[in-house]
Structure 1
Amino acid sequence: MRRLIGFLVILAVVVAVALWFLSAPGRLDEAAFADLGTADLARGEEMFWAGGCASCHAAPGAKGDDKLTLSGGLAIKSDFGTFYAPNISPDTQAGIGDWTFRQFAEAMKKGTSPEGTHLYPSFPYTSYTRIAMSDLNDMWGYLQTLPASDNVAPDHALGFPFNIRRAVGLWNLLYLRNGAVIDFASPDEAVSRGQYLVEGPGHCGECHTPRSLIGGLELGEWLAGATNPDGEGIIPNITPDGSIKSWSAGDIAYYLESGFTPDFDTAGGSMVSVQENMAKLPASDREAIAAYLKAIPGRPNGYPARSN
């Protein structure tokens, strides 16, 4: 019996050490930062809107130029608790003004904070990890030109065990992936560009894809719709078999530009902010997003009750 107990103790220690190393925050290799050059601020602004930064990090209810002050504070409700979007303005105390580009890139692509702890995936780094380093460099340069704010966002309101950040490292092992979601045999230029925007900076799947019990995206049901994390209703299925089945690529592109559907309805809920962001992109990018959405596999609705 003593030998058995001793063995179990040793096994528990070995497992604990293994889990500690497996759950370590991710880092980027030095080679990832080579040959980036000076940031293209115009390109950085486009990536800022493509990434939807203002939708979460501007003050709740901000309009117009006030959306460029990324003071944080938006409450993001979930089954795991309430997350609050942080201040990412250039303020050196309340914001990210004292971050380096490496720290910014590791937050975006690895979900790792400057302090070496895990960020929670309410911040969509699982999508942002697909953003090219050159685009991150441009975005970082643009963020430095925005107004500073000394607002201190509230701490996340999470209960046990969801307040254990180290556990996010194990979650990352399951859900943090760099590769493309959809494997196209030979996509044309527009579809490839649309794939980059939708799967990466646009992080469309973060809302439009159903999630597992522990909050990971069910990639086999990519963009098939999901229950609304903010309350009642659903986030629609935007595959070719979903709510936009009858829309043409032109209809999709026009909706992203104007907010008007082919039936003369308008964007609602959190999609209002997303559409306003997309309206600031070049027309070719909106057309590329539409081409991608028409090219992906159709799926049954990913929210209860599912239909065929």
Structure 2
Amino acid sequence: MLRKLALVAGGIVIIALAAFWIVTMPQTIDAATMAAMKEGDANRGERIFWAGGCASCHAAPGAQDEARKVLSGGLELVSDFGTFVAPNISPSPQGIGDWSLQDFANALLKGVGKNGHHLYPSFPYTSYTRMQPQDVADLYAFIMTLPPSDKPSEPNRLAFPFNVRRGLGLWKLLFLDNGPAVDLENPSDQVKRGQYLVEALGHCGECHTPRNLIGGLDKSKWLAGALSPETGSDGKKGIVPNITTGPGGIGDWSAQDIAYALQSGFTPDFDSLGGSMTDVVANMAKLPDEDRQAIAAYLKVIPPHPDGFERH
């Protein structure tokens, strides 16, 4: 009897492990998505590059001006799950010089690296998954024109169980969704453009939306502000502000105020945007004014929320 029970238990374990292995298998883009991509336009890709904030994480820490186009990596993101280190994504052997467009698209749209492993969502593919395929191709074309760096990528420093990438397959089932973050009724073309810039390319929700215990975004509080996903050197978390028009947010800002802040870094009350927003402004300032106006139009019409964090 005990032997039969042991066999049954062993069979259940094997079935469970097999099921886990199947459901957590990395998923790659389909043939139809690849077929939708024409040859990339590097000139157009530069606009995608700045809108996507690639330099903010992948340029060397402290890089300025043209040096921000050298994507050697090295920025450390300290979180509750461990320390993530931004990799070299320059067009070199140490970076992604040997990546095909399909490899690149799998990373952005599916969160899967060239080696077929799940990527950690410190790389915001949960937003980039909403990118239009041709934008992916154009971005790839631009990055391949940038200066190569021979700096090796540094490994992440994560403890068990977060160092087991396979488990990310379950996390993706819960949180990797290429649908819109918010449903808008009859949005104008300008608002649609703003939604794409905020929800996909700009990945604003990755910092401005609170997360649950396992790191998923709480979309019921979309852009309501949050504790920073990063931990400071003092062991404390900063506050990422509410950018909806709800209490504590930017309800008293006009669309022009928002667009100007994204270009200049100055708020309507003569303060300045600081912290990681300085990099965001450096990126946004390189976009055409129509894109900043579109972002502003979107932020003015999304659902308002009170702060998604507690003020002390």
TM-score (norm 1): 0.97
1:249 Cα shift? Answer: 0.6
Q: Give 1:79 shift.
A: 0.2
2:244 maps to 239
TM-score between both structures, scaled by the size of structure 2: 0.95
- The equivalent residue for 1:280 is 286
State the one-letter code of the partner of 2:242. N
1:199 correspondence with 2:205: no
Matches within 5 A, 1:104-115: 104-115=104-115
Instruction: Say whether 1:131 aligns with 2:131.
Output: yes
Q: Read off the aligned partner of 2:158 and give its amino acid letter.
A: L
Report the equivalent of 1:83: 84
Alignment of 1:1-308 (within 5 A): 1-2=1-2, 3-92=4-93, 94-228=94-228, 229-231=230-232, 232-241=237-246, 242-304=248-310
Instruction: Give CA deviations for 1:143-195 in whole Å, capped at 9, x if unaligned.
Output: 01100000012110000110001011111011000100111121011110000
Contact 2:249 2:306 in 1 (8 A): no
Q: Show structure 2 runs of 5+ residues with no match.
A: none
Secondary structure at 1:82 match in 2: strand
Distance 2:48 2:56 in 1: 13
Partner Cα separation in structure 1 for residue 49 and residue 231 of structure 2: 24
Amino acid at match of 1:11: I
Residue-pair matches, total: 305
1:81 and 1:35, CA in 2 relative to 1: closer, same or farther beyond 3 A?
closer
Structure 1 counterpart of 2:37, which letter? L
Q: Give the alignment's Cα RMSD to 1 decimal.
A: 1.2
Q: Percent same amino acid at aligned positions?
A: 55
Deviation at 1:233, TM superposition (A): 2.5
1:116 Cα deviation from its structure 2 partner = 0.6
C-alpha distance after superposition, 1:94-153 (max 9, x if no partner): 100000000000000111011110110000000000010000100000001100000012
4+ residue runs of structure 1 moved beyond 3 angstroms? none
Letter in 1 for 2:257: D
Q: Which amino acid aligns with 1:159?
A: A
The one-letter code matched in structure 2 to 1:234 is I
- Return the alpha-carbon distance in structure 1 between the equivalents of residues 123 and 114 of structure 2: 15
1:305 Cα deviation (Å)? Answer: 5.0
Tell me, what secondary structure is at the counterpart of 2:201?
coil
Q: Once the 2 structures are TM-superposed, how far is the Cα of residue 35 of structure 1 from its aligned partner?
A: 4.4
TM-superposed deviation, 1:303:
1.1
- Whole-angstrom CA distance in 2 between matches of 1:17 and 1:176: 22
* Distance in 2 separating the partners of 1:198 and 1:74: 23
Q: Where do 5+ consecutive residues of structure 1 fail to align?
A: none
- The answer on whether the counterparts of 2:80 and 2:231 sit within 8 Å (CA) in structure 1 is no
